[in-house]
Amino acid sequence: MANLSNDDEEGISLFPMFNILACTLGVMVFILATVATVSLGADKAIEIVEAPIELPDSSEMTVEDAARGAAERRRPVWIEWDGVQLTIYPSMETVGFDRDLRSFDSWDETYAYISERLTGTRLGASVAQVGLEPELRYVVLLVRPSGFDNLLEIGSYFEFLGIDVAHEPINQQWQRVRVN
């Protein structure tokens, strides 16, 4: 008697292929969500650069312009302040402060505390180096809004060391900050 069943039909199943398809679609949905997040700008990098100074020709340069030119030659050291810690760019080394800088009775105590925290750290060494070369370098403090309240204390400390300080506010939600 003839056998009407087909062996080939039993041997090939599409179910594994559908598993692969479903897995692929799942990964695609995940990637689409990531792309959507990135497109909304939630995780884009912010580049912070030093603004150039426009100077006139050397023949028309005044004393003020010469001072501006000298300032132009100085190189910035970028340090972020968020109210509780300093972070130096681009190495991202941090020094934390567990006491509120406004809680001290005098400037001397405030400066002593900050010095104590910076001593022995690479960030502290970098700051000390800037203090030794004030004509070549200055500090740019990138300030988060969470650091607004005690910005005066940390900024005054750098000035106490003889370092020129420029402040620049940066948004609290910026996570990927680059300096140039």
Q: Is residue 38 close enough to count as binding other proteins by CB under 8 A? A: yes
Nearest to 69 by CA among 56, 79, 82: 56
Does 168 help bind other proteins (rule: CB under 8 A)?
A: yes
Amino acid (1-letter code) at residue 128? A
Residue 9 interacts with other proteins (CB under 8 A): yes or no: yes
**CA–CA distance from 78 to each of 27, 52, 116, 126 (Å)?**
39, 16, 21, 10
Which residues lie below 8 Å from residue 143, measured CB to CB, with a gap of 6+? Answer: 80, 81, 82, 151, 167, 168, 169, 170
* Residue with token string 């420029």: 166
What is the pattern of x (binds other proteins, CB under 8 A) and - over residues 83-122? ------------------------x---------------
- CA dist., res. 72 & res. 76, Å (int): 10
- The yes or no reply on residue 1 touching other proteins (CB under 8 A) is no
Is residue 24 a contact point for other proteins (CB under 8 A)?
yes
Residues that bind other proteins (CB under 8 A): 6, 8-9, 12, 14, 17, 20-21, 24-25, 27-28, 31-32, 34-35, 38-39, 41, 43-51, 53, 67-68, 71-72, 74, 76, 107, 138, 140, 143, 145, 148-149, 151-152, 155-156, 159-160, 164-172, 178
